[in-house]
């Protein structure tokens, strides 16, 4: 283990962190502008052209705000909680590859990813499961009933949807036959996994919305019920850190989704075998994944603008009674489909999307039936 | 003294200190957090041994799922502060006695094994290969299929038991 290798890792980690934090600042602007457009407003457009200086103005405001610590709060954990929330959000993207071919800089071959470990997907799972602590501790240490309720809700919600999230990863892992992110991306060279796993991708997107506490699953911070949930007592930079974690997680989870189901850094399907293919011009990799991330982020914002928050008991019922059995069924269908395609006929791989769409239709039918029941308004 | 040994010593110190913190802390939330730290140290030990799969599983299952549920229950019941006095007077001397016996046993085995270091297998070579997960899966589902299935049945029984215990009977008051 030589010194320059460690230096290379540190520099790459630093650059990635900077990109994520800059991305966070402009994601807030992106969200506010897009939401405003959807709601037929204009949005922030005063600070700089098109409002591009708005995030800087927000940051200055938050830095100069008074930092309050509740008198009976647990001081140490109150300080630690925002940090514990931000760190997993930043480090989770370490395994996402931004390109395939290494480029040389200062006489060294530099790879366009930080860590290429053979259990990349498992790494994402473990970091995602660690991410709960910050929110729970923020809620508990505030010594505030509303914050506490928010923290408890987020624990229950994130644990419930983590299982579904993990099972939706399994579809991509099985199809690629590897847990390495690079192998998963290269396995999508001819066809994105979203084609073979349409329902799996949908489940992944729903579960990630619940994991990052975004609308319509933002129960931990439901204003009408809990004022602001787990960050009720936070102000100034500590609040900014919690806010930053939420948006950084959005970026991270979009990058992961793009890698697992939408071909990662590989070109769009209509560009394959042209000059714009990754194999011809490798430097386009980061550009492609950036475009995919922006599209997925727009999807998240769109969902927030469209759907009302769902009730807490329905949220849990939806996760446990519908998404979890569905994703289990999808794992089964995918495994059987791969075996049949290997042993019998290659075209049988198309049984996976067909059967999973049938499962999805069945699930939608069941929701419809339950909601139509007059005596039972609950799912 | 190579870098791995230095890492190991620092980690061991962290592991022992977090374990002590878990035992001595009077606040249930802090105790739970010390235990999380301890699990993380153990996970890094697995990494040092060249078993990233087990390390990450350790973090996902223990630190990420089980301890979060512990914290959830502690907060839900409001049992953060433990009582100052010991409820069982004979517990402490018995625990100290058993700990001494355990330490003696571990030390005896350690010193006995010191001469046998050459016979210890090198796990890194086998586990650190590219197909480590494949190997693990094949071993688990071929060689240890029966224990695996028995474990899963046990977990299923536990789950059904929990559901039955918490299910409210129709018409029953409360």
Number of domains chain B contains: 2
- Picking from A132, A156, A161, A182 by the largest number of B CB atoms within 10 A of its own CB, the best residue to mutate is A132
Q: Check pLDDT > 50 for residue B120.
A: no
Structure confidence at residue B149 (pLDDT): 92
Query: Could you tell me if B136 and B77 lie in one domain?
Result: no
For chain A, how many structural domains are there in total? 1
**Contact by Cβ (8 Å): A324, A342:** no
With a cut of 70, list the residues of chain A below it in pLDDT.
Answer: 1, 103-108, 219-224, 374-379
Asked if B64 lies within 8 A of A148 by C-beta distance, the reply is no
Q: Is the ipTM of this complex over 0.90?
A: no
B76 and B136 assigned to the same domain:
no
- Measured from the Cβ of residue A102, the count of other Cβ atoms closer than 10 Å reads 13
Average the pLDDT over B149-157 and give the result: 93
Interface residue A182 vs chain B (CB under 8 A):
no
| Min Cα separation B64/chain A (Å) | 4
On whether residue B119 sits in a domain, the answer given is: no
In a domain, B117, yes or no: no
Short-list B104, B101, B164, B65, CA closest to A161: B65
What's the confidence (pLDDT) of residue B174? 44
Chain B residue numbers with beta carbons less than 8 Å from the beta carbon of A140 are 29, 71, 75
A125 at the B interface (CB within 8 A)?
yes
B104 belongs to a structural domain: no
Q: Which of B60, B81, B102 lies at the terminal end of a domain, its last residue?
A: B81
| pLDDT score, position A374 | 61
The pTM of the full predicted model, rounded to 2 decimals, is 0.82
CA distance A67 to A146: 19
Question: Is there a single domain that holds both residue B65 and residue B139?
Answer: no
Task: Tell whether B77 is covered by a domain.
Answer: yes
DSSP state, residue B81: B
Which range of residues forms the domain containing residue A293? 3-378
What pLDDT score does A314 carry? 79
What distance in Å separates the CA atoms of residue B58 and residue B65, rounded to the nearest whole number? 10
Beta-carbon separation of B56 and A156 below 8 A = no
Q: Which of A113-117, B70-74, B131-135, B167-171 has the highest mean pLDDT?
A: B70-74
Q: Examine the pLDDT at B122 and tell me if it is beyond 80.
A: no
CATH number at residue B31: 1.20.120.1200
| Residue B157: pLDDT band with limits 50, 70, 90 | very high
The residue of chain B nearest to residue A139, with distances taken between CA atoms, is B75
What was the pLDDT predicted at A379? Answer: 45
Residue B21 has pLDDT above 90, yes or no: no
- Identify the pLDDT of residue B156: 93
Domain that holds residue B14: 1-81
Half-sphere exposure of residue B58, counting CA atoms within 13 Å on the CB side?
Answer: 18
The stretch B97-114 carries a mean pLDDT of: 85
Task: Name the residue of chain A whose CA is nearest to B4's CA.
Answer: A1
B63, B68, B133 ranked by CB distance to A159: nearest? B68
Query: What is chain B's mean pLDDT, rounded?
Result: 79
Given a contact cutoff of 8 angstroms between Cβ atoms, the answer to whether A340 and A354 are in contact is no
Say which of B36, B56, B133 has its CB closest to residue A123: B56
């Amino acid at each position: 283990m030589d010194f320059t290798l460690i230096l290379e890792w540190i520099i790459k980690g630093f650059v990635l962190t900077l990109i994520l934090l800059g991305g966070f600042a402009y994601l807030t602007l992106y969200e506010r502008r897009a939401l405003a457009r959807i709601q037929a407003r204009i949005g922030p457009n005063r600070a700089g052209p098109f409002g591009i200086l708005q995030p800087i103005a927000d940051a200055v405001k938050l830095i100069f705000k008074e930092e309050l610590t509740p008198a009976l709060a647990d001081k140490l954990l109150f300080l630690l909680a925002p940090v514990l929330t931000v760190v997993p959000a930043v480090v989770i993207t370490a395994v996402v590859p931004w390109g395939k071919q290494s480029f040389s800089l200062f006489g060294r071959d530099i790879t366009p990813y930080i860590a290429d470990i053979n259990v990349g997907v498992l790494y994402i799972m473990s970091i995602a499961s660690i991410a709960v602590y910050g929110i729970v501790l923020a809620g508990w240490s505030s010594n505030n009933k509303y914050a506490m309720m928010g923290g408890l809700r987020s624990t229950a919600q994130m644990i419930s949807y983590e299982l579904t999230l993990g099972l939706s990863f399994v579809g991509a892992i099985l199809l690629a036959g590897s847990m390495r992110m690079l192998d998963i991306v290269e396995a999508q060279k001819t066809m994105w996994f979203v084609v073979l796993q349409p329902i799996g991708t949908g489940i992944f997107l729903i579960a990630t919305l619940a994991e990052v506490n975004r609308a319509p699953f933002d129960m931990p911070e439901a204003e009408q019920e809990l004022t602001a949930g787990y960050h009720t007592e936070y102000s100034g930079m500590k609040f900014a850190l919690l806010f930053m974690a939420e948006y950084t997680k959005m970026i991270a989870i979009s990058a992961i989704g793009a890698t697992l189901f939408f071909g990662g850094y590989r070109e769009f399907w209509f560009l394959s075998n042209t000059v714009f293919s990754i194999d011809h011009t490798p430097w386009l990799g980061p550009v492609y994944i950036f475009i995919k991330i922006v599209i997925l982020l727009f999807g998240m914002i769109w969902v927030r603008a469209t759907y009302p928050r769902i009730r807490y008991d329905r949220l849990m019922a939806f996760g446990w009674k519908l998404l979890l059995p569905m994703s289990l069924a999808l794992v089964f269908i995918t495994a059987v489909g791969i075996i049949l395609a290997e042993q019998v006929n290659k075209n049988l791989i198309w049984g996976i999307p067909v059967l999973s769409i049938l499962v999805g239709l069945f699930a939608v039918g069941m929701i419809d039936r339950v909601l139509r029941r007059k005596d039972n308004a609950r799912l | 003294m190579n870098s791995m040994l230095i890492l190991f010593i620092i980690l061991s110190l962290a592991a022992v200190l977090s374990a002590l913190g878990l035992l001595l802390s009077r606040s249930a939330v802090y105790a739970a957090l010390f235990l999380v730290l301890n699990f993380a140290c153990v996970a890094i030990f697995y990494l040092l041994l060249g078993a990233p799969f087990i390390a990450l599983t350790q973090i996902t299952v223990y630190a990420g799922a089980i301890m979060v549920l512990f914290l959830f229950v502690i907060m839900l019941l409001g049992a953060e502060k433990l009582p100052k006095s010991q409820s069982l007077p004979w517990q402490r001397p018995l625990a100290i006695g058993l700990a001494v016996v355990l330490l003696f046993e571990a030390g005896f085995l350690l010193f006995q094994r010191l001469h046998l270091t050459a016979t210890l297998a090198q796990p890194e070579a086998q586990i650190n290969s590219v197909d480590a997960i494949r190997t693990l899966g094949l071993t688990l589902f071929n060689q240890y299929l029966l224990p695996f299935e028995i474990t899963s049945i046990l977990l299923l029984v536990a789950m059904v038991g929990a559901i039955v215990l918490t299910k409210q009977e129709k018409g029953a008051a409360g």
